[in-house]
Structure 1
Amino acid sequence: MTDQPSEMAGPRSRRRLLRSALLAAGGITAAAVPTVVAMRSADAAATVDMELVLVAAMVDPPKSGTGTTLTAGPHVKVVEQALDAKNFLAAGSVDGHYGSTTVSAYSAYQKSLGYTGLDANGIPGPTSLAKLGTDTGLFTVTRQISVGSSSDSYGGKRVNTRTKNMLAAADGKLSWSLTLTQGSYTTGNPDSAGTHDGGGVVDIAVNNMSTTQRWQTVKALRDVGFAAWLRTPEQGFSYHIHANAVGDTDMAGVAQNQVHDYFFGKNGLSGHAADNTPAAYKGTFTWWEKYKRG
């Protein structure tokens, strides 16, 4: 985008104007004028771990209550403080929990920048998050996540570059090849319930695999950062593996909710039953960038 709408005037600017007016009124010293809300200077800006914020943005919204995820709470809270400073989030919702209120606030912020569709899904992208930190002076961003091109492919199916790299890494762990039956950014498939509408979600064929190979494939996908499950006829599906790339900024909301289920050991389906994966193949919750660091 070359042109973007002007930023909304935040409370920080209004406080500065009020402070200047009071100082100009005569007989009032700077020390006598309180700062209404302590805002960090650029030199003292916090660092926000984008990886942790994205995980929280996918895990937190379906939760009951306002608990935080992993060690993401302090990072989410700084982002929420910035949204508050830009008048997109009420101060009472600044709590370190990236719930539905924060998703809506961040989506409104994205729309104020001119973004639409998946680019305004309430999940921070690297550009909007860095801009929010710079414009408020509250934070800089570390461990950025970028999905790359949304028009890449793997085995002839459309995926983004990050998903492509993840699939290649999982493929490299196996002595057989992954074959995708459905890629990402596809719409109109009622069996998928909208999970493939955005990025980071794929279905994988398993008909030519033994039972053990199917579970080994699930494990390989989980090892590199997918929330992956073997779908079965007992669940109402033909056999296949469904996989969501944890932390994908283009992911559709219904697919993000599946990441929440995966985090809590559930199957990602509407009934939220327990994950049917045998213990030996469950792996641990991770994401692509964390996997690459080892």
Structure 2
Amino acid sequence: MRKVVTAAMVTALSGAALIGTTGQTAVAAPAVNMQAVVKAAMWDPYKPDQSITPGSGDSVKVVEEALAAKNLLDRKQVDGHFGTSTVTAYQKYQKSLGHSGLAASGLPGKGSLAELGKGRYTLTAPIDVGSKTTVDGQTLNKRTADMIEAAEKKAGVNFTITQGSYNAGGVGASGGTHDGGGAVDISVKNLSNVDAAVKALREVGFAAWHRTPSQGDWVAHIHGIAISDTDMSPQAQAQAGDYYLGRNGLANHGKDDGPQVKKVTWEEFKRG
């Protein structure tokens, strides 16, 4: 007997893809929230434990199940924690797609997450860093530029960008943090209240710190990493992890001495 799909059934399955059938019953694909997965990938590898990032566990677990199905991740690691084993598995998956360099760092991007989900899950809440643009002569992606603009409005100042992103090997003292997207250095020369500027940057989704000459071979500036930028380098991702752990993002992993705010991503800030 042919299965009859009623209007009520269609309504119940609204927004979900049909990925198969069990007998004659349609099975709805689970949803993977990209913002939640990337947030976990920013934080989990640097935690001292296996705790799950709030709001991310279900989506991460679905991604891990997809990696396990491709024999890239041991099933005992399918736990909702995007730790180092999951990072390594995802990196292998990215390489299997032909990616290399920063595109195969183990940090999920929209294209690879969508490809991994074919026939398994639907992708929601995508992160799009946008195309490259120029601010003060420095290269940023649109997401980072929008974040800078929002922080300027909060702080009531105009920032001067002294180092941008996508500058592989061009910023020796940065240790690779500017090689990918989301990294920015800001001059403090025109800022009457540097802490207020750092606070505004943090409030819109940057891991940001006031860097001084006593800390390294550089002039005083504000260094920022746009959390959850999917183009960022592994070195920048490690700094975001340090920020979540209350550290300074430097090689000594000292205590964060910046203004304390609720740690958010750009997307969370926009949602208010």
Distance 2:57 2:20 in 1: 18
- How far did 1:82 drift? 0.4
SS at match of 1:104: helix
Aligned match for 1:144, one of 103, 126, 129: 126
Q: How does 1:1-294 map to 2 (within 5 A)?
A: 43-134=27-118, 137-149=119-131, 151-188=132-169, 189-210=171-192, 213-236=193-216, 237-277=218-258, 281-294=259-272
Identity %, equivalent residues = 51
Q: Deviations over 1:175-203 (max 9, x none)?
A: 32110110001122221011111100100
For 1:13, the equivalent position in structure 2 comes to: none
Q: Map Cα deviations across residues 90-111 of structure 1 (whole Å, 9 max, x no partner).
A: 1121111111211111111112
Q: Runs of 5+ in structure 2 lacking a partner?
A: 1-18
- C-alpha displacement at 1:87, in angstroms? 1.8
CA–CA distance in 1 between the matches of 2:27 and 2:126? 20
- Once the 2 structures are TM-superposed, how far is the Cα of residue 40 of structure 1 from its aligned partner? 7.8
**Matches of 1:262 and 1:66 in 2, distance apart?**
18
- Separation of aligned partners in 1, 2:149 and 2:116: 33
Q: Secondary structure at the match of 1:60?
A: helix
The one-letter code of the counterpart of 1:216 is: A
| Cα deviation 1:10-49 (Å, max 9, x = unaligned) | xxxxxxxxxxxxxxxxxxxxxxxxxxxxx98673221111
Residue 133 of structure 1: CA displacement?
A: 1.2
Cα RMSD of the aligned pairs, angstroms, is 1.7
CA distance in 1, matches of 2:257, 2:61: 35
Describe the superposition over 1:170-229 as per-residue Cα deviations: whole angstroms up to 9, x where unpaired: 12223321101100011222210111111001000002222xx21111011111110111
Deviates further, 243-252 or 87-96 = 87-96
SS of the aligned residue for 1:242 comes to strand
CA distance in 2: counterparts of 1:276 and 1:138, whole angstroms: 44
Q: Which has the higher strand share?
A: 2
Q: Do the aligned residues in 1 keep the contact of 2:136 with 2:162 (CA within 8 Å)?
A: no
Structure 2 vs 1, CA of residues 293 and 40 (structure 1 numbering), >3 Å: closer, same or farther?
Answer: farther
Counterpart in 1 of 2:12? none
Q: Distance in 2 between matches of 1:78 and 1:104?
A: 16
Distance across 2 between alignment mates of 1:49 and 1:175: 34
Question: Conserved in 1, the CA contact under 8 Å of 2:134 and 2:140?
Answer: yes
Which one has a bigger Cα radius of gyration?
1
What are structure 1's unaligned runs of at least 5 residues?
1-38
Residues 44-67 of structure 1, C-alpha deviation per residue, up to 9 Å, x if partnerless? 221111111111111111223322
